[in-house]
Copies of this chain bind each other. A is one copy, B any other.
Amino acid sequence: MKATIKDVAREAGVSPSTVSRALRNNPRISQAMRDRIRDIAARMDFHPNQMARSLVNRKTRIVGIVFPGDAGQSLGHPFYPAVLQGLGFAAGERRYHLLLATGAEAVSTAEASQSLVHSGYVSGLIILAAEVSPHLDVSVPVVVIGRPEDANQRHYVDTNNVLAGHTAARHLMDRGHSRLMFLGFDPQYTVTMDRLRGYHQALEEAGLPLREDWVVPSRFIHNTTDNALIRQIFLSPDRPTAVVSMDDALSIGLTGLLGDMGLQVPRDVSVISFNNTEAGRYHVPPLTSFDVNPYQLGVSAMGLMLDLIKGRVTKPVAIVVPFTLAERDSVAAPNTNQP
């Protein structure tokens, strides 16, 4: 039987109120008494039941984490465990725990969130990867990782994806490319829309035409795309010489597809990619890829969340986490022997 506060009180010959206060270091209890009670509590291996505390405080030391799609799926992409590491680290420092939303089947982000909040288990919600409209009306603070559509009314931490898309296009153009394809547009995810915008800006600034037929959609996270469309694009004589790709997995698939068509990366097509995964690092050729620093995204999101819980933040806060570019071998100058 686990010891309760009453057991400790009886043992110490005081009331439960006094034990409670002594343990929370309330100055109203004499130092001597505090020490004595703490000793007794330790000896009895007493640990206050957090459920009971939460019930009266209307606060738990738990933050709910909601993954896009069903929880499981997204963890298959290394971005998410990395975010989780960051979240866990920052939470652990302040003795908070993470509660994972587990939607077995196709439970939407919104449903998963609601269910977590309704349970009363969580004091806050961190939502990963902003699908377009997880409109939810909940009674606890919410932080989203990624840019939500109604960004100016929300707390979020994100990469500057417009800048990243711009930087990607510029990186390619600086090396002489002018025929760029965009791989991995998904209207469900603001991250791909933001990068596309930056990409378009860079093209415009360079006076290059915006070819909508070279914007290839794909399902984000799942990283499935329209191979027939890609094949068709590269069959054309005025095919692209470079690609901005939303994810390493997409880039790896693309490399294979191009290989089947007799096109080599980077000799015939340069590829600049996102997420700097291990798979991309050991791929042939090793991929030049943006690292959006998912760990830091997690750390920052949890930091913001804990401030919100403590009531230290009032206005909507947006945190931007810098990205870096890992330059490897998938980008080269255009092949001038080609058409």
A137: nearest chain-B partner, CB-CB: B45
| A73 contacts across to B, CB distance below 8 A | 85
| A85 contacts across to B, CB distance below 8 A | 71-73, 75-76
Does A203 lie at the interface of the complex (its beta carbon under 8 Å from any beta carbon of B)?
Answer: no
Contact A92-B75, Cβ < 8 Å, known A97-B102, A279-B281: no
| A75 contacts across to B, CB distance below 8 A | 81-82, 84-85, 88
* A51–B120 CB distance below 8 A: yes
**Nearest chain B CB to A291's CB is how many angstroms away?**
14
Number of A residues near B (Cβ < 8 Å) is: 55
Does A306 lie at the interface of the complex (its beta carbon under 8 Å from any beta carbon of B)?
Answer: no
Stretch from A54-62, A224-232, A328-336 forming part of the interface with B: A54-62
| A54 contacts across to B, CB distance below 8 A | 51
Q: How far is it, in angstroms, between the C-alpha of A80 and the C-alpha of B75 when the chains are bound?
A: 10
A60: nearest chain-B partner, CB-CB: B51
* A100–B97 CB distance below 8 A: yes
Contact of A78 among B71, B78, B107, B119 (CB under 8 A): B78
* A91–B102 CB distance below 8 A: yes
| A104 contacts across to B, CB distance below 8 A | 89, 92-93
Does A283 lie at the interface of the complex (its beta carbon under 8 Å from any beta carbon of B)?
Answer: yes
Does A96 lie at the interface of the complex (its beta carbon under 8 Å from any beta carbon of B)?
Answer: yes
Contact of A81 among B61, B76, B105, B278 (CB under 8 A): B76
| A186 contacts across to B, CB distance below 8 A | none
Query: Can you report 22 A-B residue pairs in the complex whose CB atoms are below 8 A from each other?
Result: A47-B120, A50-B120, A50-B121, A51-B54, A51-B60, A51-B121, A55-B55, A71-B88, A71-B92, A72-B88, A76-B85, A78-B81, A81-B81, A84-B100, A88-B102, A92-B102, A92-B105, A97-B102, A97-B116, A279-B282, A282-B283, A284-B284
Instruction: Give 13 A-B pairs besides A47-B118, A97-B101 with Cβ atoms closer than 8 angstroms.
Output: A50-B120, A51-B120, A51-B121, A52-B120, A71-B85, A71-B92, A75-B82, A81-B81, A88-B102, A99-B99, A252-B282, A282-B284, A284-B284
